[in-house]
Every structure is written in structure tokens, then in C-alpha cells.
Structure 1
């Protein structure tokens, strides 16, 4: 049970918590393709966006930050403006608690409100837990890129998953 999850708009005060979560994945996993820890300024650029359509939400339980999720621009060309890339990072102590599907449902609702037609998730193929969650939530694999990243002395593949939300509002 994911009792009392709260989704809060990202603010400056959340940066240290978000940075700690993200940097765990940088140092210990192939979930992130960064190979060096991100500074607060680098995190700020990645999670605080001046465009109100591309948002970051902090996931809280009992006022503690347990993760974050965001919409980012899929491509920097106008015809892509109806598509967003969706990303979720959970504090490693909260992985495996079935929180992801609730977070994804929240994001999809927000995406519809913001006028997005499609969501895309790009996932390292070693991240089987995330792949299963997106597939169970109706996302379909639409691309596979072989040996596109190199981390921990090995080549890594990524897969793109897509869900059409059906919203055609511009």
C-alpha cells in the first residue's frame, strides 16, 4: 500500500534530496547514463524548467522526499510539442514498494491536463523492474538502440516505450 503519497511541485528546497537520489543511481547503476555525480547547479538545470509544461514533481510520504518524477521535452522541434518524455526516480530505500504505478498514473493525468498526446520513456534494458512497470501500465516498446552507452566497462542498450494518451488539445 502506498498510503498518503503526495506530489509536490519541485522547488529549490528539494534540490539536495533530488540530487542525492539521482547521484545514487549515477554511482551504482546503469539506470542513469551519467558517469559523474551531478552538482546542485547541474541538477537545477535538469529538474527546474522555466516552461510550465515541463514539470518536476517531488514524491513525498509523511513529508519525506522518497522520489521525484518529471516531464521533459522529447525533442526541440515544434512538431514534438505534443509529446513529453517521462522519468521517475525513487529513493533506493523505496524501490520495490509498488509506488511506481501510482506515480505513473499521476503523471499521465497531469500530462492530459497539460495537453500532451503521447508519453515516451527511455530505459536502459538492464532496468528490468522499470520495463515491467511501464509495460504493465500500457506502454509499448517502440525502439531499441544497441550499445548506445558505455558505463562500468560495458556497452549498454536502451529501449524506448510509448503510450498514446489520446489528448489532441493544442
Structure 2
């Protein structure tokens, strides 16, 4: 397997991360944003005031292949031990095992932050992401019917979780 490295997201990565995200906005239901974001809007998604949450870019020797982020699950103190995990890959790098590496990387980071549970929120038709999280020990914990709408279709959202802190 190729040698992929994870780096904390910096401003210099923003254009490439935005380019990857825009692909998913325009072409898929992996995100429910319906229009491309501005750089300022993307900044708010990938940079956090709370040091517990982070975005990591994934790089091979020559290129930024994707990014993974760990974000606040809900803005309530009772959820402080829970975070959300999200992975986006450059489409050219899908199927190379990078998604699993990204999940493992975030799980290590999350344990250091003393997080107890990670949750992945996924469009119900996104079978590749569902399989990715299932392969990595996440189990389905919620199914919301027809809560999103994109490309003229009503979409389900499923949540997968993994208890990492024991």
C-alpha cells in the first residue's frame, strides 16, 4: 500500500479541500449542500475554535488525496464525549484503503481527546460510505426517512456509531 500521511489542516490546503468538497456537492448526495461553497463558508466547516475538533488532510507523496474531520456532534454539554467523523476523498483515490486509514487516524486522535463515541452521518443511498464504516466496526444506530432533499429526490439519513472509549 502507498504511504499516506495525515497533516493537520492549514490555510494552504483550503483550495484543494474546497475543490474535493465541491465535487461531492455538485455530483453526489454525500453532502446535502446543494450549491458550491465559498472559501469563507468552507473555512467554517474545516477550522474549529475548540481544540478538541480537527480536520486532517490526507496526502501521498505528491498530492492531497482527501480529508477527514472530527467535529462537534451537538452543542450541548451532555454530548461532550461524542463527536462526528466525516471523510471526503478525491474521487481518483477511492478504493485504495484510504478511507479506513482516515477512520483509524481519527479514532486514535479522538481517544487522546478522551472522546467516548464517534458518529458518522451518511445519506442512506451512499452504500460505499456505509460499507466503509461497517468494515471499521461502526454499527447502524439511527435511520431518518426522507429528511433531506437533493437532485429532486427525498433522501434518508442513517447514523453509524462506534464506542471507542472504554
Common fold: TM-score over 0.5: yes
| Structure 2: segments with no counterpart, 5+ residues | none
Quote the residue 1:53 is aligned against: 52
TM (normalized to structure 1)?
Answer: 0.96
Write the distance in 2 (CA, Å) between the matches of 1:106 and 1:120: 15
Structure 1 residues without counterparts, runs of 5 or longer: none
Deviation, 1:166, is: 2.0
Q: RMSD between aligned alpha carbons?
A: 0.8
Q: CA–CA distance in 2 between the matches of 1:102 and 1:27?
A: 26
Residue number in structure 2 paired with 1:74: 73
Q: What's the CA shift string for 1:117-140, capped at 9, x where partnerless?
A: 000000001110110110111101
**1:99-152 deviation per Cα after TM superposition (whole angstroms, max 9, x unaligned):** 111111111111101110000000001110110110111101000000000100
Q: Secondary structure at the match of 1:50?
A: coil
SS of structure 2 residue aligned to 1:51: coil
**Stretches of 4+ moved more than 3 A in 1?**
none
- The CA distance in 1 between the partners of 2:148 and 2:114, in whole Å, is 32
Task: Indicate yes or no: 2:10 matched with 1:14.
Answer: no
